[in-house]
Amino acid sequence: MPEQAGPEKYSHVAVLMGGLSSEREVSLSSGKAVAVALEGEGYKVSKIDVGPDLAEQLTQIAPDVCFNALHGKWGEDGCVQGVLELLKIPYTHSGVMASSVAMNKDLTKTILANAGIPVADSKTVSRKEAARGHVIKPPYVLKPVCDGSSVGIFMVLGELALPGARILETGHEDDKLMAERYIEGRELTCAVRDDEAFCVTEILPADGFEFYDYDSKYVEGGSKHVLPAQISPDINLLVESYSRLAHKVLGCRGISRTDFIYDERLGKDKGLFCLEINTQPGMTSTSLAPEQAVHSGLTFGELVHWLVEDASCDR
């Protein structure tokens, strides 16, 4: 990619950060890192901690474009994207449809499976059903259908491991949970920009973490990123190919990141499973997608610059 010479189409960027979801703190970190990088690229930057008055704030400051650094509900699920469409303000990352679909794990899995991307067997149930008894045969993982960053996950690894009442304590009894077959294997992830796969990273939870959960992701020293992943060329190509295909069939724009689990014991033809796709991956300089971009030859500043200049409405 050639050296950037400052803003091109846009000059004043509003960085949307914080928000109202369970991933607020992560979003604040992403937004602050993005704001610093964009200022370094020559943009005028306004930081907005997003709340119900977002439309009023944007009307007052009148930015050329919005950099969406929000994560989770109301930022990654099509809601904010819809507000920006109404205000006719160009924005980064995926549009209304792709964002809302990708946030729903159940619907996403159906689309991915229909496209030929392997996914783990699962069943969607209410939180009340999941608390009452095993909804599929253990071992399995219970995860909210519409949430991200491994928020609210329960590992059910045996007949006696049912979380029971703890499931109800974390949400409304009618909330939908996905019971997904537990696959023991290597955690792999790959970011895509347009049709370009950056590289594959293996994520290793640090000692003391049962799996790559919220704390393992965001607590300092909670995980180790190995990039490029030390996997066979065949598996590397499969992960990159499936990531590009997932980005395409879900209609993603800008950058996305797709997560996989790989059970080497089952071999390359049966051991790789797609877990989910992230349309708003973390955007600090040490987050997975920016790390991969740097490995592929882009600085963090160049990456956020490209995302801003790629922004539009009707995405």
Active site members = 23, 149, 218, 257, 259, 276, 278, 282
CB burial of 258-286 (b: ≥16 within 10 Å; e: otherwise) equals bbbbbeeeeeeeebbbbbbbbbbbbbbbe
> Strand 12-17 to strand 44-49: parallel, antiparallel, or no bridges (unpaired)?
parallel
How far apart CA 274 and CA 260 sit, in angstroms, is 4
Separation CA 239–CA 173 (nearest Å): 36
* Under 8 Å between Cβ of 277 and 258: yes
Q: What are phi and psi of 15, to 5 degrees?
A: -90, 115
Residue 242 backbone phi and psi in degrees, to 5: -65, -35
Nearest one of 291, 295, 254, 311 to 99, comparing CA atoms: 254
Q: Measured between alpha carbons, how far apart are the two ends of the chain, in Å?
A: 23
CB-based contacts of 137, cutoff 8 Å, min separation 6: none
The amino acid at 299:
T
